[in-house]
Structure 1
Amino acid sequence: MHPQDPSPDLSTQLIHHPYRPPEDFAAPQAGVFKASTVFFPNAAAMRNREWKHKTGYTYGLHGTPTSYLLEERLATLEGGLQTLLAPSGLAAIALVSLSLLGQGDEVLLPDNVYGPSKALAAGELKAWGITHQFYDPMDPGDLARRLTDRTRLVWLEAAGSVTLEFPDLPELLRVCRAVPNLVVALDNTWGAGLAFNAFDMAPGRGVDLSVHALTKYPSGGGDVLMGSVITRDEALHLRLKDTHMRLGLGVGMNDVEAVLRGLPSLALRYAAHDRAARELARWCLDRPEFSQVLHPALEGAPGHAHWKALCGGKTSVADAGQLPGKAAGLFSVMFDTPYGSAQVDAFCDALRLFKLGYSWGGPVSLVVPYELDGMRERWPAYLERGTLVRFSVGLEAVEDLQADLAQALNCLA
């Protein structure tokens, strides 16, 4: 039978159906292209097509039109040039460390870094002969003292995980730039590409890599796991991309679609989370149960001046009013020492709208109690003693969330 003759078999006809829809279709949302196998027109194309520069398609793991689109939009969001997608924020962090570090190297992490980053350093990296140190993120001098000729990678995080102190990022970068061939990576999930530009924090001083848990604000629905690594340096991007390929770090196109749908409303949602979190944090300042309220936009909070210098020049617009600067929808409280962990747990259990759950950036408000003693190398002097609770403020009415906090605190009495 001639290849162009229709087969009498219905299955073959359906699989190799000749119809192709017209290409001039335009709509608000991009199409979702899912594939593992990608077809080539001929053997020459199969031999010559390359996947590193988005000039064509070779295999679904290396991208489809859908993932290429998200990568380009994320690069625009964060002020970078190239993006890699990973199955989660933690996978993006691991990609950076596994690509840039080898036996005998050392990585420095802030003591307030995202907990799984510490676990990765103490687990796999240590087992592979890669050492690590934790530096005080609020003391650039401590970072400078820990840098050695073995240091290859320094992680920054702003604001700090759980305790939300805001470091002097430009000064930390100045310290790092005094060391040749040192790569600086920032966990930029809190800033979401909106609060500040990680690549232009000061004249001549920006990070080499911005890592973002797209699970949080870009998704916005609490139903997607994804991460990104964004760079401006082509050679660094290609080094990461080789590791990305060898590790097989693919993402599902339906998840990519969900993040693409979330991006147009990102700035509006971020502003709404920000406004509600600041209002609730200010309300908590007047509650006697709390010895400290941690939010970088509050006067007197650890690192407030650094936040104001970097993020305070922008305006966050929400509803009819304006807020100075930009900040995420997170804040933490330190329960005064008379309240033990059992009482703090009872407070969390009594909340009705705030749900006990990890992550943040979705529509539902979340709460998590933490025991900091087991999370830090040293207890920072700027933190009161007590039991800490972190709130992620969702998109519920702020009056309802405030009433929920009040009724749960009344349960303690």
Structure 2
Amino acid sequence: MDSSQPQGAQNPQAAETRLVTAGRDTKAQKGFVNPPVFHGSTVLYPTAEDLHAHRGEFQYGRHGTPTTRALQDVLMALEGPQCAGVGLVPSGLSAISTTLLAIAKAGDPIRFCDNAYRPTRNFCQGMLARYGVEPTYFDPLIGAEIEKLFKPNTRAVLVEAPGSQSFEMPDIPAIAAVAHGHGALVIDDNTWATPLYHRSLELGVDISMQAGTKYIGGHSDIMFGTISPNAKAWPIITENIRLLGVC
């Protein structure tokens, strides 16, 4: 589910305070503590001209509602000022696949940390390989030595911090410096640490992802994923969310 850029990333409050204040507008909520749940697909416009001009904060249920906007505001506040927006998707794996499909094209090499989440590897060896994308895996502790793995058309590097299999912490600033020197994007699966404990966008990551199903959900009763890009990657992600019909 996509949306125009939410507000709230510029926030000096402690994370604990942001968690209980972000995404809430007591005036709009008529004094109630939590935002209401909006159910709906069609959004009505005052006139046909407004409809065709896409005037209005919300255009269609698949593209976002006030309820999803409230969640996006909270996540932006946690990610920090480098976050240009948050895309909401059905699961953590959906965050990974949606992001990689937005970036990769046939013939592109993409570098993946060797401790990647198993479904990530399955997606790379399955769908991406069928599309002609070349996945290569590297030692998560490689740091600046990743330079040796780059080709002129290397499109992106995916890291996990910490890794979901063996909990190594990659040197993200060193990897990001090399990747950006080659014009490549850096993607971080931030599911384990979440932006509460690891704000990877501040370290040079271009797209931070997580399975909200895990720590953010907290109670094993919901499933969703988040994609938090910086300003450079935000248009690429939002376009792909719309094209794939993610909601």
TM-score interval for Structure 1 and Structure 2 normalised by the shorter chain: 0.7 to 0.9
Separation in 2, partners of 1:142, 1:155? 15
C-alpha distance after superposition, 1:126-145 (max 9, x if no partner): 10111110011112255221
Separation in 1, partners of 2:130, 2:32? 50
Separation in 2, partners of 1:121, 1:24? 43
Separation in 2, partners of 1:239, 1:170? 23
Q: Over aligned residues, Cα RMSD in angstroms?
A: 1.7
Separation in 2, partners of 1:218, 1:211? 12
Shift, 1:160, TM fit? 1.0
Structure 2: state its 5+ residue gaps. Answer: 1-26
2:84 paired with 1:44: no
Report what 2:188 is aligned to: 186
2:128 paired with 1:125: yes
Which amino acid in structure 2 is aligned with residue 198 of structure 1? Answer: S
Say which SS state the counterpart of residue 155 (structure 1) adopts: strand
Separation in 1, partners of 2:29, 2:140? 52
Whether the 8 Å contact between 2:190 and 2:198 is mirrored in structure 1 is no
Shift, 1:23, TM fit? 6.3
Whether the 8 Å contact between 1:155 and 1:184 is mirrored in structure 2 is yes
Structure 1: state its 5+ residue gaps. Answer: 1-21, 251-413
Report what 1:337 is aligned to: none
Separation in 1, partners of 2:28, 2:197? 38
Q: Which of 237, 240, 244 does residue 240 from structure 1 map onto?
A: 237
Superposed counterparts of 1:146-161, under 5 Å: 146-161=149-164
Report what 1:64 is aligned to: 65
C-alpha distance after superposition, 1:63-98 (max 9, x if no partner): 000111111210111111311000001101111110
Shift, 1:217, TM fit? 1.2
Separation in 2, partners of 1:33, 1:161? 35
Separation in 1, partners of 2:138, 2:188? 15
Shift, 1:239, TM fit? 1.9
Q: TM-score of the superposition, structure 2-length normalised?
A: 0.84
Which amino acid in structure 2 is aligned with residue 245 of structure 1? Answer: R
Q: Which of 100, 105, 127 does residue 102 from structure 1 map onto?
A: 105
Q: TM-score of the superposition, structure 1-length normalised?
A: 0.51
C-alpha distance after superposition, 1:243-291 (max 9, x if no partner): 10111110xxxxxxxxxxxxxxxxxxxxxxxxxxxxxxxxxxxxxxxxx
Which amino acid in structure 1 is aligned with residue 36 of structure 2? Answer: G
After superposition, the Cα gap between the structure-2 partners of 1:136 and 1:236, relative to the gap in structure 1 and judged at 3 Å, is same
Which amino acid in structure 2 is aligned with residue 109 of structure 1? Answer: F
Task: Answer with 1 or 2: which has the greater Rg.
Answer: 1
Separation in 1, partners of 2:62, 2:84? 21
Whether the 8 Å contact between 1:137 and 1:167 is mirrored in structure 2 is yes
C-alpha distance after superposition, 1:133-171 (max 9, x if no partner): 001111225522111112101101111112112222222
Q: Which of 15, 35, 39 does residue 34 from structure 1 map onto?
A: 39
Report what 1:214 is aligned to: 212
2:222 paired with 1:224: yes
Report what 2:79 is aligned to: 78
Separation in 2, partners of 1:23, 1:195? 31
Whether the 8 Å contact between 1:135 and 1:142 is mirrored in structure 2 is no
The higher relative CO (CA closer than 8 Å, separation ≥ 6) is in 2
C-alpha distance after superposition, 1:195-252 (max 9, x if no partner): 2321222xxxx1111001111111111011101111221x5212211110111110xx
Q: Which of 165, 178, 184 does residue 175 from structure 1 map onto?
A: 178
Separation in 2, partners of 1:174, 1:133? 19
Whether the 8 Å contact between 1:144 and 1:175 is mirrored in structure 2 is yes
Separation in 2, partners of 1:39, 1:83? 25
Report what 1:139 is aligned to: 142
Whether the 8 Å contact between 1:109 and 1:156 is mirrored in structure 2 is yes
Report what 1:291 is aligned to: none
After superposition, the Cα gap between the structure-2 partners of 1:213 and 1:24, relative to the gap in structure 1 and judged at 3 Å, is closer
Which amino acid in structure 1 is aligned with residue 39 of structure 2? Answer: K
Say which SS state the counterpart of residue 185 (structure 1) adopts: strand
C-alpha distance after superposition, 1:88-130 (max 9, x if no partner): 0110111111011111111110000111111111011110111
After superposition, the Cα gap between the structure-2 partners of 1:72 and 1:132, relative to the gap in structure 1 and judged at 3 Å, is same
